[in-house]
Structure 1
Amino acid sequence: MNTPISVSTLNSQIKSLLETTFIQVYVEGEVSNLTYHNSGHIYFSVKDQNSTISCVMFRGNTKYLKFQLEVGQKIVITGNITVYAPRGNYQLLCNKIQPAGQGALALAYEQLKAKLEQKGYFNPDIKKTLPKYPKKIALVTSATGAAIEDMKKVALHRWPLVEFILIPTLVQGEGAAYDISNSIKYADSLSCDIIIAGRGGGSIEDLWAFNEEIVANAIYEARTPIISAVGHEVDYLISDFVADIRAATPSNAIEIALPDINEHRMYLDSLSNEFNNLLKQILFNKEQNILNLKKLFKQNSIETKFEFIESEIKLLKSSFKSTLAQKASNSQNELEMLKRTFENNYSQYLNKLQNNIDLLKSNYELNHPDKKDKNGFVQISKENKITSLNNLEVGDIVSLQSPKYIAMCTINNLKKQ
Structure 2
Amino acid sequence: MAEVKATLPQRCLTLSILVCLCSVAWSPVALAESAWQEDGWLTTTLAQDRLDAGDEFGCYGIPGLSWQTDPGAVATECRTYIEQRVAASSWGDVPISTYTPGGLTMAQHTTVAEQGFVVHGDNTGLSVSAWHDANNTPTDKWDWYNLGRRGGSMEQLIGSLEEVQTAVEEGGLVNLYWVGRVNDATIRHDRDISAYLAEVPNVWLTTWGEAWSYWTVNDCYEFTHDTQTEGEQTVLIFESLVTEECSAMNPEAWNVPITWVLDLDGANVESIEGPSGPLADITGVRKTTEGYAQAEGEHLHLSVVNGHQVEIRYNGSSSHDVVGRTEFFNNHSAAVTIAAHETHDLFKWSKRFVDDDHLVFTWLVEPREGLSEAGWLRYVAAGVAISTVIGMLLVLKKEGLGPLAKGQDAQPSSPPKSE
TM-score (normalizing by structure 2) = 0.20
Highest Rg: 1 or 2?
1
Greater fraction of residues in helix: 1
**TM-score normalised according to structure 1 size:** 0.20
